[in-house]
Amino acid sequence: MDTKSLARVACITGANHGIGLALTHRLLEEQWQVIAIIRSSFATDDIQIQQAIQDQRLRIYVADVSDFEQLRTALTQIQAREIHIDILYNNAGGSYPELSFSPQGRELHFDTQTVAPYIILKELEKLLQQGNLRTVINTSSAVFATRLTFDPDQLEHPTTFKPLIGAYATAKLALSLWTSERASEFEHLKGMKLLSVDPGGNNTLRSGKKSGIPFFIQILTRLFFPAPTHGASLLYDAALGENRSLLVAGDYIVKGKTTRLKFKQSASIISERVHRIYEQEYKR
C-alpha cells in the first residue's frame, strides 16, 4: 500500500520557529505529514521533529521565500517529489527592525509576506487540487487595524519606515486583500478555499535575534503574551476546527470569527499587482 498517497499532508512555510513550529508539532502528533519550506534548520535536540524527519513524515525544502531563485528551486523540488497537499499554511515572515529590500529590489515585508504566498499558492495549486481539503491559510495580522490610511503605491518602495505598524502591517493587509479578491476564482475554478487568519498576539521573540517589534511591546510580549501554540491553534482551527464549514472563502478571521477587512477598495489593485509580479518576474 502506498502510505504516502493516503496520508494527510500539510505544507507549512516558516515551519521551524514560533507559530509554524508549534503547528508542525501539533499536526505531526495527529499523524499528519508535513512539507516544511524553511530557510534554516530545525533544532537538533527536538526529538519529535528529528524522528519525523527520519521517518520522512516531515520533509524539508530549504528556501528563503523572499528570494525568488531559492523559492523556485524549492517549489520545483516539491512539484517533482510530492503527490498531494491537503492544506497550505503560508506562514513565513515576521516583523523586521529596519527598512530592507528583497533580492528582487522590493521592500522585504512585501515580497516575503504578500508576494511569496501568492507564488507558492500558484505553483502548488495542482498538488492542492489532488488533496482532499484543498485549503489555504494565509497568516495575516490584526495590527493593520490601527492604520487610518493605506497607499498601495508605498508597498514596494516605502518612503518612510515604522516598525510593526508600517511596512509589516501594510504587507499583511495586502496579503488579506489579495486573498479576499482571489478567493472566488480559486473556489469556483479549482475547488479551493482561501482564508487569511490573524494568529493573535504570541510570544515568538527569540534570544539574540533583532525584532521589528518596538521595545516597549517586546516587554509586554514577554510578560503577557501566550506561547506560539495559541496562534498555531487559531491557524489550525481555521482549516480543521469544528466551525470551519461556516467560514466563507476569502474571509479574514480574527479570534476565530469573520471580521470586516479594511481598505477593500484596494483589493483588485493589490491582486493585479501581485499576479503581475508572478507572471513577469517569477515565471519569466
**What is the per-residue pLDDT for 205?**
65
Which of helix, strand or coil describes residue 69?
Answer: helix
Task: Give me the number of domains the chain comprises.
Answer: 1
Yes or no: say if 157 and 273 are a contact pair by the CB < 8 Å rule.
Answer: no
**What is the per-residue pLDDT for 103?**
98
**What is the per-residue pLDDT for 1?**
38
**Low-confidence spans in the chain with pLDDT less than 70:** 1-5, 203, 205-225
Q: Which residue from 63, 62, 13, 72 is spatially nearest to 283, judged by alpha carbons?
A: 72
Quote the domain boundaries for residue 260. 3-283
Kindly report the three-state secondary structure assignment for every residue of 220-240: HHHHHCCCCHHHHHHHHHHHH
**Cα(196)–Cα(185) distance, rounded to whole angstroms?**
16
**What is the per-residue pLDDT for 201?**
85
**What is the per-residue pLDDT for 215?**
64
**What is the per-residue pLDDT for 202?**
75
CATH number of the domain within which 160 lies: 3.40.50.720
